[in-house]
Amino acid sequence: MVGIATVATVLVAGLASLFMAWAIGAGSSGSTPFAPAVGANAISVMRAGFVVGLLGLGGAVIQGANVSEAVGRELIVGDPLSAQAAALALTIAAALVAVGIFAGYPIATAFTVTGAVVGVGLAMGGDPAWPKYVEIATLWVLVPFVGGGIAYVTARFLRSEATSERLTLPVLAAVVGALIANVDVALLGENGASIAASAGVALADAAAVPSIAGHLLATAAFALAFAGTLYRELVIDPAQGQRRFLLALGGLVAFSAGGSQVGLAIGPLLPLLDPYDVNLFAVLAGGGLGLLVGSWTGAPRMIKAIAQDYSSLGPRRSIAALIPSFAIAQAAVLFGIPVSFNEIIVSSIVGAGYASGEGVSAEKVGYTVLAWVASLAIALGSGFGIYAALAALFGA
């Protein structure tokens, strides 16, 4: 039988999780997805905060399981975090993110949560999960180069005078359509599957064709549908077509942000909820609501900071920044790796900005990278030190 004190401690951890979800919604998943669109004057700051909250909630419920499991069960080898440890880790991480929000610097949420969880886990006597750390560190290091590099190449492609925008944008839309066809959706299959994979299985059953053939056909159909739709929009009204494509990309990134970032808020809670047989989708929905509230109440400040302070963004550079952001976010969701959306978006914005040869704030970028590294170190050290001190005073 679970004691009242244990239930009360779990409730405290739940409140800390909601605080973390609010902080993420206000400072990462809520601010970054539409920042390029705001910078290109395609949508207002307040409307962006409203829309991104709704899309983030949807992404949290549909795609949030993988990263949640990784944060909750794979960062420390040994016993899972206690309720007190989970509450402490989430409070430390949320406090650091909140400081970044009010200071106007986008703190990397994945850095703070991962550092705090690992810190308290080691203080509890757990062992380091080195293979997972290598996996995480590899992605974190690659994100600025891959995201910024793809954004740079894409922006240069869009700026090329050798090709018409009426052709280059549909090509990019085809790439996005192919990516969407291969995004894992929790509602498809027992453990989730992509639309293309599900279509491949269905075609194999109905027409006796290899499933890989059906998979490729579905991917091609999505790519052609997206390219054709955008091409028609550009023929009718080039400016409106470009704006709608930019907003669609922002929506996709916002959805992906919810799927990735909710795990940072609720992951540490999952082991604590095992004795209560709580449905995972209900927990994801609760975390998604926390993201939504954060987006609606705190995101506008960070949207403005990211949209205006790092680089001067036009529609083309904004499109170039959002495409790699969407791809990297979905890769992180697929492999269950906690990743910072601030790192993804800022890197892509900087890469797109460099394509024009102007408008990149090197000072702002430098301070931001320093804040990311410092937040990881502070979260790790604080988590270990505070938990060890409390355990020594009151007993583990």
Instruction: Give the residue extent of every domain in the chain.
Output: 4-394
pLDDT of residue 1: 45
Nearest one of 35, 111, 118 to 369, comparing CA atoms: 111
Nearest-angstrom CA–CA distance, 209 and 377: 53
**pLDDT tens track for 52-63:** 888 888 888 888
Give every CB contact of residue 324 below 8 A, 6+ residues apart in sequence.
Answer: 146, 147, 150, 151, 154, 344, 348, 351
pLDDT of residue 114: 93
Nearest-angstrom CA–CA distance, 274 and 363: 46
Give every CB contact of residue 374 below 8 A, 6+ residues apart in sequence.
Answer: none
Look up residue 131 and give its two tokens. Answer: 């293979």
pLDDT of residue 175: 94
Nearest-angstrom CA–CA distance, 20 and 22: 5
Residues of the chain with pLDDT under 70: 1-6, 27-37, 39-40, 101, 103-106, 186-187, 189-192, 207-208, 299-313, 357-361, 395-396
Whether the CB-CB separation of 21 and 68 falls below 8 Å is answered with no
